[in-house]
Amino acid sequence: MKRPATTPIDYRVYAARLTTDDVIEVTGTDSSGEVEFVLVATGGELLVGLGSDHTDRKAETYGITLSKQLCDKPIAPTVWPFAEIADHWDDLVLRAFITSGGRRELYQEGALSKMLPPQQLLRGYRPDGKLRDGTMMFGGTFAAIGGIRGAERFEGELEDARLGRRITLAYDIRCLPVLG
């Protein structure tokens, strides 16, 4: 796979790809989810949520930008004000599970201290470090435990142990046949 032009890099995705549905449809079996925190700007406020950058891995080998457009991007309907977690951001934990062949297993896990901080991501996106209202940014992901692979179900969570809460999302993956 060709490396991105820069790291980090912002791939733009059609807003219509965002979904809170509990089932997505994909073409073939070559796609997989990636749990990510999301930053959302609305009403002049920065919010934090959870999403899955579900991506067609076969298409990714010849065009990352294209591959990002081919799959829906499930997001959790819950968000937190960034101000509520800013002082303990590094302690938040992202985690994902996949179910394949009826077996649920840990797929990704890590503390946000291992990722670029939101302020750095935002400054890389815009010099003023602010998202425009109505904009959502996915914040990156951790390596898949055991390697990237497809599944029948994807679950993700953003855990805030300090405040005793978590944001969750879960969706089933329905694979449509590739007929030519």
Give the pLDDT of residue 65.
78
- Residue 133: CB atoms within 10 A of its CB come to 11
- β-pairing, 93-100 with 153-160? antiparallel
pTM for the whole structure: 0.92
Is position 16 within any domain?
no
| 133: CATH | 3.90.850.10
Is position 52 within any domain?
yes
Domain that holds residue 60: 28-161
pLDDT digits (tens, 9 = 90+) for 118-138: 999 999 888 898 999 999 999
Q: How many distinct structural domains can be found in the chain? A: 1
- β-pairing, 23-27 with 165-176? parallel
pLDDT digits (tens, 9 = 90+) for 66-76: 877 889 999 99
Is position 178 within any domain?
no
Q: What letter does residue 16 receive in the DSSP assignment?
A: G
- Residue 28: CB atoms within 10 A of its CB come to 14
